[in-house]
Amino acid sequence: MKEKLKKISVLGAGSWGTTLAIILSENRNLRITLWSVFEEQVKKILITRENKDFLPSVKIPLKIEVTSNLKIGLDSELLILAIPVQYLRSILRKIKKESLNLKEKIFLTTAKGVEIDTFKTPTQIIKEELKVKKIAVLSGPTIAKEVIKGLPTVATVASKDEEISLAIQNIFKSTNLRIYRSQDIKGVELAGALKNIIAIACGVADGLGLGINAKASLVVRGIVEIVRLAKKLGAQPETFWGISGLGDLVTTCFSSYSRNRFVGQEIGKGKKLKDILKKMKMVAEGVTTVKAIYKLSKRLKIDMPITKEVYLLLYKDKNPFQAVRDLTKRPFKSE
């Protein structure tokens, strides 16, 4: 990529999309657009210069163009798709109708999950819907509320095209977000999706008051079953011990900001999933991901005991204490 990126659009004005737009706007050489599908949300942001629903008390610089006009949102060289995976396909179809000039644009997805019905990852959905090749994924231990405070953070960008990865590293060079490169797109995407299931399990342990020993056990045994599935799907095992794997897993399992850990915590306290989700403004991707991964693991005959118990807790109202007993009473085996 001979020329540096100058025009960037963030599609999706949740907490992470808004955070990315703000930190990128610190670069004087970049023109930043923040697009939302929700007109009312855009109107509120334009009046207050705050995203009160997802990132309250943080000012959105005037330099950032905020819009619900998709044509304006697509007028950039780099499109950052900060859209939950279950809604991604519908947004991509809107994009396809709006613009025919997509092949030269770079699509960078930040979603962490898989589509329930198809088991497909975000980059697979992008390829299928838009027939484009310039695709990358950004993932890692990136809690938006910490990044927006300027706290040091690392993440991984994965692309088959090294020039795309280098260009994305370059746009973040003046921010507190340090980016590392990878070519294992499948591994980085699966790591980001599957760790949310383990985070829910760790949240259940918190809700039950089981202590750090139990959570550590869930993390280490969780990554074992994650890698077991990922290898079967063609990912590189070493990816799961890096930033987008173990790094993101630990952060999501222990952070008080983690939405997935929170869901598990409330389940552990005896609350029902539908009641928990009603009170949440933001999406906990693991809630839908576990449904897809449980079905996939059964189809592929891969042993994923933690995933199985999380699925039963969320969708079959299994007693949390019984889930713990069933995990701890499994037959002995070698590590």
Catalytic residues: 195
Q: Token pair of 282, please?
A: 């933001």
Q: Token pair of 11, please?
A: 């599609």
Query: Cα dist. 199→105, 119, 143, 193, 207 in Å?
Result: 34, 20, 14, 11, 12
Ramachandran assignment for 120, one of left (phi > 0), alpha (psi -120 to 50 degrees), beta (any other)? beta
CB 131 within 8 A of CB 97: no
Query: Cα dist. 3→33, 102, 167 in Å?
Result: 20, 18, 9
Half-sphere CA count of 292, side-chain side, radius 13 A: 20
CB 51 within 8 A of CB 45: yes
Query: Cα dist. 299→30, 78, 119, 303 in Å?
Result: 46, 37, 11, 11
* DSSP string across 259-271: HHHHHHHHHHTT-
Q: Which residues pair with 179 in a beta bridge?
A: 155
